[in-house]
A and B are shown apart, each in its own frame.
Chain A
Amino acid sequence: MVYTMIAPIARVLLIFAVVGSALAAPPKEMADSLATIRAVGPEGQGNAAASAAWKRLAAGDAPTLVPIFEAMDGANDLALNWLRPAVDTIASRTVNSGGRLPVPELGGFLLDSRHDPRARRLVYELLSRVDAPTVDKLLPGMLNDPSLEIRYDAIQKVIDQAGQSLAASNQAGAALLFQQALNSARDVGQIDQISTNLAKLGQPVDSLKLFGFLTQWKIIGPFDNTGKKGFETAFAPEQKLDLAAEADGKTGKVKWRDYPVKDPFGKLDLNVAFGKLKEVTAYATTDFISDRAQAVEIRLGCETSWKVWLNGKLLFGRDEYHFDSRIDQYTMPAQLKPGRNTILVKVCQNEQTEDWTVEWNFQLRITDALGTPITPAPAETTTPVTSEPL
């Protein structure tokens, strides 16, 4: 019985692994089409050539699918959206005409996690169309998959199983499964769902630690934001980040002060720090010690206008007020250097007086591309000192 359950999967995995490592290069015409599509850029650059290449590509047959998936490795986001519908077209034509998808080759691609996560997800969906039971059996091994979408499905399966345990009054089993799901979950919605269930089971989650929000801040303000001009005005902290210096604020001299955050979701509430003010701007800064050079994402939640700098370089800014805030509302790719990295955040508040325009806060964390929080390395000192002019 066990053999009959396991054997088909093992056979598929074996074939996947063997065939997946021995894929041939695509013919020249196809390679040219793929190269043309991969060359598309902003502002419609390369669109005309890509359109012609797309027609040639989409006319291909099932064996061309894997080379198209391989072309997704390292392709830019725009090119991916050209390649994806070519896959849809070829696969649909193949299936609708009674043909066969190259399952072993696709399987090999899926199991090789070095490939582009979005390409692997697409393969996962194709394989699900032709052999859903096998793909479903692969899911438990994909709880930590680099594809967020595959990981999402794997985690949802565990959440569903935990729900079944709850329904069967097996609370201990449910808690264990929820905890397993939480360890791998990166989607904020799933984390919220799991945390809510764990709290009901008497195992509250430390969300501050789980998400890795930064909590040790220094703040200064208020500066002016009359007429919403503060967003574009470079006040003293933007010109030179001198934590010992006083600056000219909106109503007098202002200076930096420590402001540790205790909110469970890492919100630094500027209304608490400065009072419920209108038409004002404030700054917050912190140091983040990185043990190495690394690519990260700086993730911000903020309901009002903001800018973020890393080591004096402006990452992004958004001049928008009171359209709600949420965890990871804005995601900014960034490069940390080894040692101390200084983050500066500017947050403005506008003139609106409605009761839904009171919020003036932000939350910030540093993660990898999947959303895994990156915590600072032990520091020689965590106190920022005067830096170079911004």
Chain B
Amino acid sequence: MNPLFSFSSRIPAWLPCRPTLAVVAGLLVSGGSALSAADWSQFRGPSGNGLSAETGVPATLDTARDLAWKSDLPGRGLSSPIVIGDRIFVTCCSGPKEQRLHILCLSAVNGARLWERQFSATGRTVCQEKMSVAANTPACDGKHLVATFSSNDIFCLDLDGNLLWFRGLGHDYPNAADSLGMASSLILSGGVAIAQVQSQSEGFVVGLDLETGVNRWKLARPHESNWTSPTLLKSGEGELAILLSAKALAALEPATGKIVWNTTDVGSSIPSATAGGGVLFVPSKRGLTALQPGAAGEAPKQLWQSGKLRPGTPSPVLLGERIYTLTDAGILSCGDTATGDVRWQLRLKGPFSATPVAAGHMLYCINEEGAVQVVDTTKPEGEVASEVKLAEAVLSTPSISQGAIYFRSDAHLWRFGKASPAVKP
């Protein structure tokens, strides 16, 4: 029996309403916020593990049947759209040096642009050609929309587009930059926006007060490149911010920045850690490691380590009792969350940069050429159930909300799935 999910072991792994999923998702989106369980409020969704707990997302995709709308975007971007209620928020960049930063709000119903705010980068915008200054996914607690960019400019707006505060971390700390570009997304917890800013020349993590943007705390981090995003882990009545870097994993209290534990047994600089069921699934050069955090102050215990579950750029995705990893070339591996044993492997059409997302028992994987491959995870060896070609380069992780899935390229945002009756036009 899987000790991680023992209380739900009689429920089929693919059922979207499994208590494990609902509980984890519900806990992570609660805490007095103005979010609903259907909101996709940050990078890799409400639980930060790529999983949507809701139903109604098309199990197979067909453009003629499922494409609700396609909207133009004003600039490039690798960031994921986030969805709060009937509004989508997405970031873009434009201009010869990508110094123009855009934050857009679109209607989830029809893709119409509701408002747009533009800013100028105050930090460096030099980045690799494949990267983009709009690489980081925004985060929202239902009241504060916080968007950051590769230039380390961080903007907080309300959901109507009113500017609440702005910080130019690249302006304040000019060596906080990376010539390939910065990509770490924000998390919100404990009244702060947590930004992990690490490059070879500068490294820190900062908790910005959600009301004013000033540093509530700031900690030094290793001077090494790091494109991973922090992850939130449920801990007792609260949450811990999990910070992954090339050679270590640390947990800290969001409100204070106090380090709770630190371990050097794992490390990654591109794929992020995935949390679920009280367990952390952490990428490293050795593959994937499952860690069970202990009581406060205690370092986590290793449950297993697998060299066969080896994430590339995409981060691991948790779906029921299975953890999925995807290589850049397109090898999708299904692992057992209890043991790390590989259940099956499936070759998809790569290459991949985007992390897959999951709903029901389906995994939605989009490759860099814009081919969406929907994988049925209940098949004995996994199986591609449908494929849709968006015919544009896509490096952005999709988002799921209100029975729909969203994809974005440098030029467009697509919604697949019909409008939910719950969505107000």
Tell yes or no: A211 within 8 A of B by CB: no
Chain B CB within 10 Å, residue with most, of A47, A86, A118, A319: A47
Who on chain B is nearest to A332 by CB? B174
Instruction: State whether the Cβ of A81 lies closer than 8 Å to any Cβ in chain B.
Output: yes
A350, chain B: closest CB distance, angstroms: 10
Given A42-B171, A47-B214, A92-B115, the answer on whether A187 and B162 have CB atoms closer than 8 Å is no
Q: How far is the CB of B192 from chain A (nearest CB, A)?
A: 12
Could you tell me the distance between the alpha carbons of A318 and B211 in the complex, rounded to whole angstroms? 33
- A47 with B118: CB separation less than 8 A: no
Q: A141 near B: Cβ within 8 Å? A: no
* Alpha-carbon distance A42/B166, docked complex (angstroms): 10
A329 / chain B contacts, CB cutoff of 8 Å: 126, 179
The reply to whether A318 and B201 contact each other, CB–CB distance below 8 Å, is yes
Complex Cα gap A47–B215 (Å): 11
B174-A316 in contact (CB<8A): yes
Please tell me which stretch of A240-248, A287-295, A320-328, A358-366 contacts chain B, meaning at least 4 of its Cβ atoms lie within 8 angstroms of it: A320-328
B119 contacts A43, CB within 8 Å?
no
Task: Give Cα A14 to B163, complex, Å.
Answer: 36
Q: Within the assembled complex, what's the spacing in Å between the Cα atoms of A44 and B164?
A: 12
Q: Is A389 located at the chain interface by the 8 A CB criterion?
A: no
Write the B143-179 contact mask toward A (1 if CB under 8 angstroms, else 0).
Answer: 0000000000101010001111111100110110011
The reply on A77 being an interface residue by CB < 8 A is yes
> Bound state CA distance, A77 and B179, in angstroms?
21
B350: interface (CB < 8 Å): no
Residue among A78, A187, A329 having the largest count of chain B Cβ atoms under 10 Å: A78
Q: Within the complex, which residue of B118, B126, B179, B215 is in contact with A88, where a contact is CB–CB below 8 Å?
A: B118
Q: Does A58 contact B (CB under 8 A)?
A: yes
When the two chains form their complex, are residues A78 and B122 in contact, meaning their CB atoms are under 8 A apart? yes
Q: Please, which residue of chain B has its CB at the minimum distance from the CB of A231?
A: B201
Q: A85-B117, A187-B96 are in contact. Are A320 and B199 (CB under 8 A)?
A: yes
Q: Is A55 an interface residue (CB 8 A)?
A: yes
**Contact between chains at A44 and B163 (CB < 8 Å):** no
Interchain CB contact under 8 A, A44 and B120: no
User: Quick one: given A42-B171, A323-B178, A324-B128, are A81 and B166 in contact (CB under 8 Å)?
Assistant: yes
Are A85 and B180 in contact, with the CB atoms below 8 A?
A: no
Which of B163, B167, B175 is within 8 Å of A85, CB to CB?
B163
For the complex, is B386 an interface residue (Cβ under 8 Å from A)? no
With A43-B215, A323-B180 as given contacts, are A77 and B171 in contact (CB-CB < 8 Å)?
Answer: yes
Give B234-254 as 1s and 0s: 1 = Cβ < 8 Å from A's Cβ atoms: 000000000000000000000
Asked if A65 is an interface residue, CB under 8 A from chain B, the answer is no
Beyond the given A149-B96, A318-B201, A325-B179, please list 4 additional residue pairs across the A-B interface where CB-CB is below 8 A. A55-B162, A77-B122, A320-B199, A320-B200
A interface with B by C-beta (< 8 Å): 40, 42-44, 47-48, 50-51, 54-55, 58, 77-78, 80-82, 84-86, 88-89, 92, 118, 149, 152, 187, 189-190, 316, 318-321, 323-326, 329
List 20 contacting pairs A-B, 8 Å CB cutoff, sorted by A: A40-B166, A42-B168, A44-B208, A44-B209, A44-B212, A44-B215, A47-B212, A48-B211, A48-B212, A51-B165, A55-B162, A77-B168, A81-B168, A85-B161, A86-B163, A89-B161, A149-B96, A320-B199, A324-B179, A329-B126
For the complex of A and B, 8 pairs with smallest distance between CB atoms: A44-B214, A323-B179, A320-B200, A85-B117, A77-B122, A47-B165, A44-B213, A42-B172
